[in-house]
Amino acid sequence: EEYSHIQGTRWNKNVITYSIGRYTRDLPRSTVDSLIESAFSVWARASGLTFVRSHTRSADIMVEFVTHEHGDLYPFDGPRGTLAHAFGPGLGVGGDTHFDDDECCTKNTTKGFNLFVVAAHEFGHALGLKHSRNPGSLMYPTYTSLHPANLLSREDVVNINALY
C-alpha cells in the first residue's frame, strides 16, 4: 500500500529525535550507543540538522537490531545479503532503521561490516537520500570499508544540502 501520504521526501524540522530499541548481542550497548551517535553526527556536521536521543518509542527514528521477519514488509535474509534497511522521512515507520542482526555489524574498521559505516549509510536514507552510482559515495548500494575520517563524498554533501 502506498504510504506517500505520510512518507515525505524530507523532515520538515531541524531537530530530529532517535531512540535505540532492540540491541545486538555482538557488541556492548555503550559501543552501539556511541557508534550510532557518531553516525548521526556525520550528517549533523554536513546538514546543520540536530539529532537528539530519546528513550521513547515516539522518537522520529527508531533504531533496532532485528532478524528475518520483524514486523514490516521487508524481512531480513539471514547471514550474507542485505545488512540493513531504513525508511525515508515521515510519520510512524518513517525514518526507522533496522540492522540485520544475523550479520551486522562490528566495531572494527577492517574486519566485517563496520556499524558506524552501515549506520551512516542508513541514516542517509532516513533523511531522504537515495542511492548513488558513485562507488566513492557513502550512499553507494554496496558496502565498502570507507575510512571513518571522511565517510561523505562531495556528492553526499551536495545531496544532503540540496534537501536541508
Ligand X SMILES: CNC(=O)[C@@H](NC(=O)[C@H](CC(C)C)CN(O)C=O)C(C)(C)C
Residue 72, contacted partner among Zn ion, ligand X, none, CB below 5-8 A by kind: Zn ion
54 CB contacts (<8 Å, ≥6 apart)? 17, 18, 19
Work out whether 98 is an interface residue with Zn ion (CB under 5 A): yes
Question: Which positions touch ligand X (CB under 6 A)?
Answer: 81-86, 118, 121-122, 125, 141-143
List residues with catalytic annotation: 122
3-state secondary structure of 64: strand
Comparison of 49 and 125: residue with beta carbon closer to Zn ion: 125
* Dist. CA 141–CA 20, nearest whole Å: 24
CB-nearest residue to Zn ion: 98
Rounded to 5, what percent of the chain is helix, strand, coil?
25, 15, 55
User: What element of type H or E holds 47?
Assistant: helix 29-47
Residue 118, contacted partner among Zn ion, ligand X, none, CB below 5-8 A by kind: ligand X
Least distance from ligand X to the Cβ atom of residue 46, Å: 18
Residue 94, contacted partner among ligand X, Zn ion, none, CB below 5-8 A by kind: none
Least distance from ligand X to the Cβ atom of residue 38, Å: 15
Residue 129, contacted partner among Zn ion, ligand X, none, CB below 5-8 A by kind: none
Grid coordinates standing for 121?
A: 549509510
62 CB contacts (<8 Å, ≥6 apart)? 18, 19, 21, 95, 96, 97
Comparison of 51 and 121: residue with beta carbon closer to ligand X: 121
In the complex, which residues of this chain contact Zn ion (CB under 5 A)?
Answer: 72, 74, 98
